[in-house]
Each structure stands twice: as structure tokens, then as C-alpha cells.
Amino acid sequence: MPGKVPMIADATTNTATNTLFGPVRRTRGMVHVYTGEGKGKTTASIGLAVRAAGAGLNVFFAQFLKGQPTSELAMLARLSDRIMVRRFGGHEFVRDGGTAVDAAEAARGLATATEAITSGRYGLIVLDEINLAVATGLLDVTDVLAMIDLVPPTTTLVLTGRYATDAVIRSADLVTEMREIKHYYHSGVPACAGIEM
């Protein structure tokens, strides 16, 4: 792209070296948002977690609103020396604010995620379905934004889930919207183990 200045990034220090002007330091870590109606938000964040672990980074991977068993847990367990997985949710799908138990689990998840962010132990932190926890009223977006402000320069934070708020999108450095064009689910094909769950 004409006019773009080449950058070389170092994820371990969260500096980017501008090849013309030298190092560019950030006061806050990078924030990614994966949102939208299409399939692939959790899948993309798992791929990023595996990539980060492969690069030697410690990863904290929290899943909100998910308590039922899924296939990715078996694989991530094999990488437990690098990837810490925590789940905050029941076995039922949450709609319209959920139950008191759902709210307590979401609050516990946010507190645990904030501890992970401020610990300085993790190069990547993924908060899977946190956007949906906000959209269903289980979490307040102001609390999520306050947590985002705590991300240290050496950490990348990923927030996934449908219905990311405008405020969360504005606070992010990278936003990807997954858009469904076609899905076999609408033809009555159930979710498949290893593909959707």
C-alpha cells in the first residue's frame, strides 16, 4: 500500500519498530474484538491462542456463558503448560439476562479475567463470549471498559461474541466482524462434534 510505513512488531514487549522512525511504545496492550452473526469467533480465538502458545506466550482463555463440554477443551488441555482455560457458565443457553446463577458466573468470570490481566503473567488473554454476556445484561459494559483500560503493554486482549457494543468497538485496536452468508444449520443440519462443538 503506498504511503504505509513498514512496521515490525514484537509481541513479547508489545513494541512495534517503525523502520523509518524507530520503536513505538504503547501504554496499553492491543485489544481485538471478534464479533458478528457468523460462525468462527471462538474458532479464530482458539487458533490465536494456539499460535501464541507456540510462540512461547502464556495464554489465559476464559469462556463466558459456556459450561457444556466442547471438543476444543480436550485439545487445549494438552497445551495446559501454556494455556490456562477457565469457564464461567451453566449448561443452558442464556437468553434475556439469564438467571441469578448466570449473573454470578459472569461476575466471577470478569473478576478472574481482571486478575489475569493485572497479573502480568499472560501475553494473550481471550474472553470468549464476553460481548454476549454484556448484550444479555449479565455484565455492564462500563465494567468491561474499565478492565480493558488495565491491559498492560505486553498483553493482547481478545473479546469475542455477537453484539459487541459501540463503546467496546471504539476501545479496540482490531475489530473483525464475522458475517454469515450461508449456513447449513438453517437446512436442519445439527451441530457436529469437532466442527461446531
CATH code: domain of residue 62: 3.40.50.300
Enumerate the H helices of the chain as residue ranges.
Answer: 41-54, 71-78, 100-119, 130-135, 141-148, 166-171
Tell me, what's the pLDDT at 5?
45
Residue 194 domain flag: no
Tell me, what's the pLDDT at 35?
98
Phi, psi (rounded to 5 degrees) for 91: -95, -5
Report the largest interatomic distance among the alpha carbons of the chain, rounded to a whole angstrom: 56
- Domain residues for the domain of 132 are 27-177
Residue 195 domain flag: no
Residue 80 domain flag: yes
Phi, psi (rounded to 5 degrees) for 15: -110, 150
Q: How many domains does the chain contain in total?
A: 1
Tell me, what's the pLDDT at 180?
81
- Give the confidence band of 110 by pLDDT, cuts at 50, 70, 90: very high
Note the pTM of the prediction, 2 decimals.
0.84
Residue 186 domain flag: no
Q: Which of 12-16, 120-124, 186-190 has the lowest mean pLDDT?
A: 12-16
